[in-house]
Amino acid sequence: MTLDNTIYDGGLGVLTAETGTADLYICSQVPTTVTEANTTYKLGTKANVTISSPADGTGVREVTVSAITDGVVDATGTATHFAIVNGAASVLIATGTLTASAAVTSGNTFTLAAIDISLQKPPTAV
């Protein structure tokens, strides 16, 4: 089956629409709710993340969350996951595992490399 990129972009467009209004949290475990992301498991925050428009990747359509150099660490612990949240709409938009866990200390800053969020495209029939 082949789907036009606009089908994938519709879903990824939700992320793109959040640029400047979504916050990224680093968390001590994978959150499944907004409250877990921004309160229960939250170790740090980067407000108003930038998310690219959908683009082709290798076998995927993807958006990229820009690298973070100035996230604020709010609590001491080990960050293992990230969450992207639209707090105003109370929506947990995306979660994922960090490339490597990191010990963080309250009052410091954190950095993250750019994060690609993708939708897998099915293989083309031969």
pLDDT given for residue 41 in this prediction: 98
pTM greater than 0.85? yes
pLDDT given for residue 8 in this prediction: 73
Per-residue DSSP letter, 19: T
Q: Is 65 exposed, middle or buried (0-12, 13-18, 19+ CB in 10 A)?
A: buried
- Distance between CA atoms of 6 and 23, rounded to whole angstroms? 26
* Domain positions in the chain: 5-120
The rounded mean pLDDT for the chain is: 89
- Distance between CA atoms of 85 and 101, rounded to whole angstroms? 20
Percentage of residues in the chain with pLDDT exceeding 70? 94
Under a CB-based contact definition with an 8 Å cutoff, are residues 25 and 86 in contact? no
The structure tokens listed for 63 are 């958006």
- Strand, coil or helix: what is 108? coil
Tens of pLDDT along 95-114? 999 999 999 999 999 999 99
Residue among 4, 3, 95 at smallest CA distance from 42? 95
Mean pLDDT, residues 20-40:
95
